[in-house]
């Protein structure tokens, strides 16, 4: 059965964030669809065999928004499974967001009279009056105190979407070449014993058995690995709850050859039950662990 999610609400309340979440969740999304095309669009997607579609409609649709409640009622009467989500926020929050984004309110030109542009407060007030009938009969989310991550999480729960698997990446790097730009968590292991000063081990890497055996004899190395692993285990559920799709844990030493590589490999082994899991070493392709 075709499932339709309609996103609407006050301009600046987070509709773009919500629509992107739906797109990432596998919905076919259309933004700013004119109300008069909604019925035909849904009929077309049903004929095409689509199962999940999402549409954003707001006051940018000229002259016909007041017809939307009746269109929704008619579509539901025809058996369309439609969830309408109305996003709202306080006036102060909206004004702050507009100030930060420096965007014009979509009603600015429509409310202009005698060459005089309305204030942002007047635009927000007019929009609330226009949307009041729809707000009163649909599900409302007040985004005033929500971060984008929280809004995405609320949207996921509301539409009962499957949470996307978080890609956990362990990456070794050399501090002398700089911290990787994709790093979310960075751990410095330069305090550990350095195989570089052993001439037999110098040309090898942390993936070689000789280096691994040399490093494993030190209690400080084992303690460092266990401490990093404990930190990640404790906080990983919260990163996943934040609807994050990727988490990169970067481990660095001076040259990025011995200690960071060994620690990275050991961490990957401890998290081998997480899928998908990637291991990266600079200038080498990532390795996916099933």
Q: φ, ψ for residue 251 (rounded to 5)?
A: -120, 125
| Residue 11 in marked binding region | yes
Tokens encoding 254: 């001076």
| Residue 61 in marked binding region | yes
| Residue 172 in marked binding region | no
Sign for the pseudo-dihedral over CA of 261, 216, 231, 161:
positive
| Residue 90 in marked binding region | no
| Residue 228 in marked binding region | no
| Residue 99 in marked binding region | no
E runs forming strands in the chain: 3-9, 28-31, 52-56, 81-88, 139-142, 167-174, 185-188, 246-253, 277-281, 287-289
| Residue 206 in marked binding region | no
| Residue 10 in marked binding region | yes
| Residue 119 in marked binding region | no
| Residue 189 in marked binding region | no
Burial 261-287 (b: 16+ CB within 10 A, else e): bbbbbbbbebbeebeebbbbbeeeeee
Angle among Cα 154, 79, 42 to the nearest 5 degrees reads 70
For the CA atoms of 24, 26, 31, 34, the dihedral, rounded to the nearest 10 degrees, stands at: -170
| Residue 252 in marked binding region | no
| Residue 149 in marked binding region | no
* C-beta contacts of 228-236 below 8 A and 24+ residues apart: 228/187, 228/263, 228/267, 229/267, 229/270, 229/271, 232/185, 232/267, 232/271, 236/166, 236/168, 236/274
Q: Which residues are annotated as a binding site?
A: 9-16, 58-61
**Bind-site residues for ATP:** 9-16
Give the annotated binding-site residues for GTP: 58-61
């Amino acid at each position: 059965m075709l499932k339709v999610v309609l996103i609407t609400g006050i301009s600046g309340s987070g509709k773009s964030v919500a629509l992107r979440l739906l797109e990432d969740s596998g919905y076919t999304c259309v933004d700013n669809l004119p109300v008069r095309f909604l019925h035909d669009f849904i009929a077309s997607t049903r004929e095409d065999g689509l199962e999940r579609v999402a549409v954003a409609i707001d006051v940018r649709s000229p002259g016909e928004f007041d017809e939307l409640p009746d269109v929704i009622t008619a579509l539901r009467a025809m058996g369309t499974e439609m969830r309408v989500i109305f996003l709202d926020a306080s006036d102060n929050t909206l004004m702050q967001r507009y100030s930060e984004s420096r965007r014009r309110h979509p009603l600015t030109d429509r409310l202009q009279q005698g060459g005089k542009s309305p204030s942002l407060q007047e635009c927000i007030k007019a929009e609330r009056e226009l949307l009041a009938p729809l707000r009163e009969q649909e599900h409302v989310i007040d985004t005033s105190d929500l971060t984008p991550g929280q809004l995405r999480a609320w949207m996921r729960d509301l539409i009962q979407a499957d949470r996307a698997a978080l890609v956990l990446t362990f990456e070794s790097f050399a501090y002398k070449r700089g911290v990787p730009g994709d790093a979310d968590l960075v751990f410095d292991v330069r305090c550990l014993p350095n195989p570089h000063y052993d001439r037999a081990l110098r040309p090898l890497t942390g993936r070689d058995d000789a280096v691994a055996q040399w490093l494993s004899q030190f209690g400080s190395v084992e303690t460092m690995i266990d401490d990093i692993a404990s930190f990640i285990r404790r906080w990983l559920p919260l990163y996943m709850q934040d609807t994050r799709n990727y988490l990169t844990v970067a481990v660095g030493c001076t040259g990025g050859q011995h200690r960071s590589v060994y620690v990275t490999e050991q961490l990957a082994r401890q998290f081998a039950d997480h899928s998908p899991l990637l291991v990266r070493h600079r200038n080498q392709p990532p390795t996916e662990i099933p």
